Amino acid sequence: MRSVAPISTSLRATATGFTAILMWSTLALLTTHTGRVPPFQLTTLAFSIAFVIGLVHWARQDGQLSTLLNLPGRVWLLGVGGLFGYHFFYFMALRNAPAVEASLIAYLWPLLIVGGAVLASGIVFSCSPTEASPTWIKRSRD
């Protein structure tokens, strides 16, 4: 009988990242094909499926339930409430606006926050024709 070699850590990480990108990139497309399912119900269904898959995976890894239950309530509220709220409002936006515009807004605001933080910190992006790559220059505020 032929034995199967274990999957390398690098290959597993790459496959996990590819799967995450695939799921992220198809979220708007699949959401628009859900028909008239209300956003709250759609979010509940998605999180229920994810919970069952995560629970099965966690149980196969010999997970201890006490490690999850020992987390503070604020952690649970922020984690579950934040993810649930984000997806609920994203599904609501896709229901009430064209998918391209809703996705553009949903994915541009983190970029704008990072850009705004860079501008507020005084860091300036500099690229001259003589440099091989762009550089960041920290300018002090006067």
Q: Is 136 helix (H, G, I), strand (E, B) or coil?
A: strand
- 73 and 104 inside one domain: no
- 80 and 113 inside one domain: no
Q: In this predicted model, what pLDDT tens digit does every residue of 28-85 receive, in sequence order?
A: 888 888 888 999 999 999 999 988 988 888 888 776 767 777 889 899 899 889 989 9
Residues 70-91 as b or e (16 or more Cβ within 10 Å = b): eeeeeeeeeeeeeeeeebbebb
User: What range does the domain containing 52 cover?
Assistant: 23-96
pTM (two decimals): 0.65
- 33 and 81 inside one domain: yes
